[in-house]
C-alpha cells in the first residue's frame, strides 16, 4: 500500500533512506492485520499472552527498566524564536534539533520493519478532527496506536482528501537514556522521538500530537487543545450537560471521568466522553463544543480498584494491552490496589516478586484499552459535532487554601483561575508535604508554546462569544488539623457538580467572595450525606490573609514570563487583591 499524497510518499521514502529498514509496511488498520501483527509480537516477545479464560485477548508488554515514564527533561520544543517556546518548555533551535536527532535515526531501523501508520485524532468524519502519520519500528506502538486512534485506510483517505497531516517519526533506537530525545517542531507540524518505547514518548498521537503540536495548531486556527476530561452529567429529569475538567496528577481526573453516582442521589447518570484530552472549538451558536481526539484510554493501573474506580477496572478483563504490571501464578495481570485476594508471583521486570524489593507493578504501569469497552461510554463519544460544554472546571490538591468549590467572576477571571492552578506535593512523592507546584490548566508538561501567549489565546475567546462556559475551581482535598480529608470525595463529588450545573442553568444560588462566587452551606445538597455542619462551613471558607500570600506567589510565577504576560491577567490579579484587602479591612 502506498498513497496518492505526494508529500506523504516523499516523506516516507526520505525516512526510509535515513533509517534503512529491511522492509516497509503501510498499516491498513484492519482486524486481519491486527491479528497478524499480534502473532509476530507474541513470537518476538514484544507481548506476552495473559490468562485466556479470565482475560481473553489481553497481553502484557514490559518496557526497559530505564524507560517507564515520560522524560520531560529530554522533551524539547524547537521553534525559530526561543520566546515562542517560553520558559515553560525546553528549547533548542529547529536546525540543531534536526541535526542532533537525525544523527541518531541514521541507520537505526536496519534489520527492522518500518511501519507507516496513518491515523485520525477525533471521529473520522468530524471537521474538528486532525490527522497524522507516525512512522515507527515498534510493534507495541503499532498495536497500541490502533487502540488509541482511528488508524488505517479511513485516516489515509482523509489525509489524501484534506492534504494536511502531522508528521511523527519514532524509533526505539537502542533504548539508551543518553540517546533519547522527544523533539517537537510545531512550525513544521512534526515530531521526532527516539530511544524510548514508553507510551507518552512513543505513541505520538497522544501527548505529542494531541497536546503539544495541537496546542500550536489551535492557537493559529482559533480553538483550544486541552489536557481535560469530558463528562456528561444526566440529571433525574433526563437532561444531560457536559463538563470539561483539568486537574494535575493525583487529583482524581479519571475518577471524575468515570464517576459513579452515589446511592444517595438516585436518578443521576454519568457518561464518559473522554478521560484525558479535549479539543474545544467555537460553534456557530457561540458555544464551545468539544471532542475527545482519542479512541482509547491509556490509564495508570496502580490504584485502579473496586473502590476507587470500578468502571475502569471492569473494562480491563478483555482486549487490553497492559504495560509493566505484575502477574499472578495463573497469568492474570496484577497491580497494587487491584485485588487483595490475588497474589503476584512475577514483578513488572519479569522477575520473581519479592515484596521487600519494591512493588509488583511499576507505579506508572499502564493499560491501553478501547474507549468503547467502558460501561459509561457516552453515545456521543463518536459524534462528529462533539458535545456542548456548559462548564470548565479546574482543580488542584490543596490541604487548606482552596475551598471545595468556587466560580470565576467571568471568563477573564476564569483564565486567571486556570493559569494559577497549583497542587501540593505529598511526602510519599517528594519527601516534603505542602510544596506548591504550579500547573496552569494542568498543561505544564504539554503546552507546545509560551504559556503567556497561551493565556492570551484563552483570553481572546471573550471577544469572540458571549456564550462561553462558566469557569469553576474545585478542591476535593481540604484537610483537618490531623491531616484527614474532610470531604468524602469520589461519587459524592457529584453534589458539587450539581451546584456547578445549577449555576450554569441559573437555578443555584451563590454568595460573592473576594476570590469568586461560592455556595452558601445551604446551597449545597448534603441530604443523606454523613457530614457535620461545621465541616461544610470549613469546606466553604477562605482565609483572606492566606489568599493574599497566594496572590504574591502567583505574581512571582507570572513574572517569569516577562513582556509576554497579558495585561488582562495582571488586572484580574489586582482586582482579586483589592477585594481581599477590602474583606480584611471590614473584618
Q: Is 250 annotated as a binding residue?
A: yes
Farthest CA pair distance, the chain: 77
Element (DSSP H or E) covering residue 24 = strand 23-26
Q: Annotated binding residue at 206?
A: no
CA 580 – CA 514 distance, rounded (Å): 5
351 labeled binding residue: no
Specify whether the CB–CB gap between 127 and 384 falls below 8 A: yes
Is 492 assigned a ligand-binding role in the annotation?
A: yes
DSSP structural state of residue 256: H
> Cβ-count burial of 224 within 10 angstroms (0-12 exposed, 13-18 middle, 19+ buried)?
buried
DSSP lists the bridge partners of residue 470 as 391
Residue 451, CA distances (Å) to 186, 396, 421, 455, 557 in order: 15, 18, 13, 6, 11
193: exposed, middle or buried (Cβ count in 10 Å: 0-12, 13-18, 19+): buried
Which residues, 6 or more positions from 244, have their beta carbon under 8 angstroms from its beta carbon? 226, 228, 229, 230, 278, 280, 290, 389, 391, 392, 393, 469
Distance CA 433, CA 370 (A): 37
Which residues partner with 369 through β-bridges?
A: 297, 320
Grid coordinates representing 158?
482523509
The answer on whether 253 is annotated among ligand-binding residues is yes
Say if residues 132 and 167 touch (Cβ distance below 8 Å): yes
366 in a known ligand binding site: yes
Residues with Cβ within 8 Å of 44's Cβ and at least 6 positions away in sequence, in order, are 139
Catalytic residue among 58, 78, 131, 251: 251
Q: What Rg do the C-alpha atoms of the chain give, in angstroms?
A: 24
176 among annotated binding-site residues: no
**Residue 207 annotated as part of some ligand binding site:** yes
198 annotated as belonging to a binding site for a ligand: yes
Query: Is 69 assigned a ligand-binding role in the annotation?
Result: no
The answer on whether 478 is annotated among ligand-binding residues is no
Q: Is 140 known as a binding-site position?
A: no
Alpha-carbon torsion 532, 533, 534, 540, what sign?
positive
Q: Is 559 in contact with 537 (CB distance < 8 Å)?
A: no
d(CA 143, CA 47): 10
317 annotated as a binding-site residue: no
Determine whether the annotation assigns residue 549 to a binding site: no
Say whether 252 counts as a known binding-site residue.
yes
Residue 467 annotated as binding? no
Spatial CB neighbours of 585, under 8 Å, sequence gap ≥ 6: none
Residue 154: CB partners within 8 Å, gap ≥ 6?
29, 120, 124
HSE-CB for 556 with a 13 A CA cutoff = 9
- Helices then strands, counting H and E runs in the chain, come out as 17, 30
**d(Cα 66, Cα 70) in Å, to the nearest integer?**
11
249 is in an annotated binding site: yes
Determine whether the annotation assigns residue 155 to a binding site.
Answer: no
**How many C-beta atoms surround the C-beta of residue 129 within 10 A?**
20
Cell of 507: 437555578
Q: How far apart are CA 291 and CA 280, in angstroms?
A: 7
Q: Does residue 251 have an active-site annotation? A: yes
CA 97 – CA 87 distance, rounded (Å): 18
Active site positions, annotated: 251
List binding-site positions for GTP.
250-255, 366, 397, 490-493
List binding-site positions for Mn(2+).
207, 227, 276
List binding-site positions for substrate.
70, 198-200, 249, 364-366
List binding-site positions.
70, 198-200, 207, 227, 249-255, 276, 364-366, 397, 490-493
Amino acid at each position: 500500500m502506498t498513497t496518492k499524497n505526494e508529500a506523504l510518499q516523499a516523506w516516507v521514502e526520505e525516512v526510509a533512506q535515513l533509517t534503512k529498514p529491511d522492509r516497509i509496511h503501510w498499516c491498513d488498520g484492519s482486524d486481519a492485520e491486527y491479528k497478524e501483527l499480534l502473532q509476530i509480537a507474541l513470537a518476538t516477545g514484544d507481548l506476552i499472552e495473559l490468562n485466556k479464560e479470565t482475560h481473553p485477548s489481553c497481553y502484557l508488554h514490559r518496557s526497559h527498566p530505564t524507560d517507564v515514564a515520560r522524560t520531560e527533561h529530554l522533551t524539547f520544543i524547537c521553534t525559530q524564536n526561543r520566546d515562542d517556546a517560553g520558559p515553560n518548555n525546553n528549547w533548542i533551535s529547529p536546525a540543531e534539533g534536526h541535526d542532533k536527532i537525525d544523527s541518531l535515526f541514521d541507520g537505526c531501523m536496519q534489520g527492522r520493519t518500518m511501519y507507516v501508520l496513518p491515523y485520525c485524532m477525533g471521529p473520522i468524519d468530524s471537521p474538528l478532527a486532525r490527522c497524522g502519520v507516525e512512522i515507527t519500528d515498534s510493534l507495541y506502538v503499532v498495536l497500541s496506536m490502533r487502540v488509541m486512534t482511528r488508524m488505517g485506510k479511513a485516516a489515509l483517505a482523509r489525509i489524501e482528501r484534506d492534504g494536511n497531516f502531522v508528521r511523527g517519526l519514532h524509533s526505539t533506537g537502542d533504548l539508551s537514556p543518553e540517546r533519547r530525545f522527544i523533539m517537537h517542531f510545531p512550525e513544521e507540524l512534526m515530531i521526532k522521538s527516539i530511544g524510548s518505547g514508553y507510551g507518552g514518548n512513543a505513541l505520538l498521537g497522544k501527548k505529542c500530537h494531541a497536546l503539544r503540536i495541537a496546542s500550536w495548531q489551535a492557537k493559529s486556527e482559533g480553538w483550544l487543545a486541552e489536557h481535560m476530561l469530558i463528562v456528561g452529567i444526566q440529571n433525574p429529569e433526563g437532561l444531560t450537560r457536559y463538563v470539561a475538567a483539568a486537574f494535575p496528577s493525583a487529583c482524581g481526573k479519571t475518577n471524575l471521568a468515570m464517576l459513579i453516582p452515589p446511592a444517595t442521589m438516585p436518578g443521576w447518570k454519568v457518561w464518559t466522553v473522554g478521560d484525558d484530552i479535549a479539543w474545544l472549538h467555537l460553534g456557530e451558536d457561540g458555544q464551545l463544543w468539544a471532542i475527545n481526539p482519542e479512541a482509547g484510554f491509556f490509564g495508570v493501573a496502580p490504584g485502579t480498584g473496586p473502590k476507587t474506580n470500578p468502571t475502569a477496572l471492569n473494562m480491563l478483563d478483555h482486549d487490553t494491552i497492559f504495560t509493566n504490571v505484575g502477574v499472578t501464578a495463573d497469568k492474570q495481570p496484577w497491580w497494587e490496589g487491584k485485588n487483595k485476594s490475588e497474589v503476584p508471583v512475577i514483578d513488572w521486570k519479569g522477575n520473581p516478586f519479592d515484596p521487600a524489593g519494591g512493588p509488583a507493578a511499576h507505579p506508572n504501569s499502564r493499560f491501553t484499552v478501547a474507549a468503547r469497552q467502558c460501561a459509561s461510554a457516552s453515545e456521543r463519544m463518536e459524534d462528529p459535532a462533539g458535545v456542548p460544554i456548559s462548564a470548565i472546571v479546574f482543580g488542584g490538591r490543596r490541604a487548606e487554601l482552596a475551598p471545595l468549590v468556587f466560580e470565576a467572576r467571568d471568563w477573564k477571571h476564569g483564565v486567571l483561575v486556570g493559569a494559577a492552578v497549583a497542587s501540593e506535593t505529598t511526602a510519599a512523592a517528594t519527601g516534603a508535604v505542602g510544596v506548591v507546584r504550579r500547573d496552569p490548566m494542568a498543561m505544564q508538561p504539554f503546552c507546545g508554546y509560551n504559556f503567556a501567549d497561551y493565556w492570551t489565546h484563552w483570553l481572546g475567546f471573550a471577544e469572540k462569544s458571549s456564550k462561553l462556559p462558566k469557569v469553576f475551581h474545585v478542591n476535593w482535598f481540604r484537610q483537618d488539623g490531623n491531616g484527614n480529608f474532610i470531604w468524602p470525595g469520589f461519587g459524592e463529588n457529584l453534589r458539587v457538580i450539581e451546584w456547578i450545573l445549577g449555576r450554569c442553568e441559573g437555578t443555584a444560588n451563590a454568595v460573592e467572595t473576594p476570590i469568586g462566587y461560592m455556595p452558601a452551606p445551604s446551597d449545597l445538597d448534603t441530604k443523606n450525606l454523613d457530614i457535620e455542619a461545621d465541616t461544610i462551613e470549613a469546606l466553604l471558607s477562605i482565609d483572606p490573609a492566606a489568599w493574599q500570600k497566594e496572590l504574591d506567589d502567583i505574581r512571582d510565577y507570572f513574572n517569569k514570563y516577562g513582556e509576554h504576560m497579558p495585561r488582562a491577567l495582571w488586572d484580574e490579579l489586582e482586582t482579586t487583591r483589592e477585594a481581599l484587602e477590602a474583606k480584611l479591612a471590614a473584618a
